[in-house]
Structure 1
Amino acid sequence: MRLPLIKHLTNFIDENDQDYVNETIETLENLIESDNLKDEELDVLGEILSNLYGAVEVDNMVKKGESKKEALNNFMKRVTGSIDK
């Protein structure tokens, strides 16, 4: 997960709608089920999906009242904390 990409995607959600990102997630999840993808391609798709999921989570946090900056920081702390465990 990369914070600049998540921030970029949350800006996209602000300007458009979270539904676009959710539909992209559904499409990519369907694509990864294909037997015709190489391991490297799966890794890239997985990274893209994690950033998309992160953006949706941050957007949900903002909708619950957090500032965007606070939501981004709290999300990354939570992710980093789960990796350290």
Structure 2
Amino acid sequence: MKLPVIRHLQKNNEPQKLESTLEVLESFCDHRSVSDEEMDVIGELISNICGALEVQKMIEDGMSERDAANSFMQKVLGSIDK
């Protein structure tokens, strides 16, 4: 996950576009001919899109953009430490 990518996605795309993109990527992953390398790349894309959606939701709920991004990354880093 890359916070600059998450911020870019969150700022420049409507949630519906991001959700549609997630559906396409998830469908692509279901095909048997997808290689492990492709799966790794798609996994990274999916995690960044999900992060953008989560940050966007926090902002809609009243959190500042900076606080939302920091809160999201703290949550991610906290889950890695466990």
**TM-score normalized by the length of structure 2:** 0.98
- Equivalent-residue separation in structure 2 for 1:37 and 1:10 (angstroms): 27
Cα offset, 1:77, TM superposition:
0.3
Partner of 1:31: 28
Partner of 2:50: 53
Query: Which ranges of 4 or more aligned residues in structure 1 deviate by more than 6 Å?
Result: none
Output the aligned Cα RMSD. Answer: 0.6
Task: Specify every segment of 5 or more residues in structure 2 that has no aligned partner in the other structure, as ranges.
Answer: none
**SS of the counterpart of 1:51?**
helix
Cα offset, 1:12, TM superposition:
1.1
Partner of 1:8: 8
Taking only the aligned residue pairs, the percentage that are identical comes to: 44
Partner of 1:79: 76
- Equivalent-residue separation in structure 1 for 2:21 and 2:6 (angstroms): 14
- Equivalent-residue separation in structure 2 for 1:8 and 1:54 (angstroms): 11
Task: Specify every segment of 5 or more residues in structure 1 that has no aligned partner in the other structure, as ranges.
Answer: none
Partner of 2:59: 62
**TM-score normalized by the length of structure 1:** 0.94
